[in-house]
Amino acid sequence: MGYRKFLAGMVLGLVALLGSVQAQQVTRIVVPFAAGGGTDLYVRILAAELTKAGMQVIVENKPGASGIIAADYVARSKPDGLTVLVSSLGTLASNTALYDKLPYNPVKDFAPVTEIAYQPAIIVGRTDLPYKNIKEMVAYAKANPGKINRGSPGAAILTNLAPLSFEKTVGISTTHIPFNGDSPAVAALLGGQIDIHGTSITGSLPYVRSGKLRVLGVMDKRRLAQVPEAPTFKELGYDVEATLWYAFSVPAATPKDAIDRLNKAVNKVIADPEFVAKARAIGMEPRGGTPEELAKLTRDETDRWLPLLRSLNLPKQQQ
């Protein structure tokens, strides 16, 4: 009898120990933008599906300084595959040109896991503005210098860089007002603090459908399925194409097997037809891949946008 009690105690102890270990295996996905924006919404949908698949996942928002706060936090985290950065062109490339000094090295401090989604950049504005598309906006800006305030989710984000490049090409200038993510910028747009906003369709789609906002132009070769009435820049005579992409990165010393496990779990979810339908409903196009493919995408996008960013001769920012 004593032996049986001993065995029972051993089993209960092992179960408790295993439960404790499993409870510690929580994957934190760190979003460098405020809650409620397009990227945050998509990541939360993805996190929910990963949780259903057996992972324990939480989403943490660490907005500010064009993603620097979030990137630095993840770069300094334990390299065990359990702290993941939602990375993009801004955190992995653009910040190097926009800031005097970064607390992290985007090349040396991170390891690629997988791309998770992409979508075209767009310009939105309120429906009470005196212009209804990008071509009319350009004419208005030329006739009314300094009258347009333009928002973005952050200075180093593509939805600021692409409009900046466009403005330089067509010879206009807007007053740029950066925000800590898409959600506060859209709120400012709706409140009249800014006139237009460089963004993606995800965060602004509900307001476009309700008639409060209008897509002035889509930076892609095709129109958005969610807003088929919105013209592309190319339709209006401007050769502009800019794609926002989102990825998962982890601290550089993370073991390959941990990266591979996360890569496999994420790619399985984003290939599921039901998940794809949910993503497309909010304007996201799921896209996965290997760590090597993400590394190549990052290099190619850096080579494309960084020289352009430097050519703008923007003043260096402080954190």
pLDDT tens digits for 186-230?
Answer: 999 999 999 999 999 988 999 999 999 999 999 999 999 899 999
Q: Return the amino acid letter for 79.
A: P
pLDDT at 9: 56
Tokens coding 100? 């005097």
Contact by Cβ (8 Å): 202, 119: yes
pTM for the model: 0.80
Tell me the domains of the chain and their CATH numbers. Answer: 26-119+245-311 (3.40.190.150), 129-218 (3.40.190.10)
Chain segment 33-43, per-residue pLDDT in tens: 889 888 999 99
pLDDT in tens, 56-66: 999 999 998 88
Residues 281, 266, 18: CA angle, nearest 5 degrees: 130
Q: What is the mean pLDDT of each run of 10 residues along the chain (319 residues)?
A: 53 51 77 90 97 96 92 98 96 89 95 96 97 98 96 86 93 94 93 96 92 97 92 96 95 98 98 95 94 97 88 73
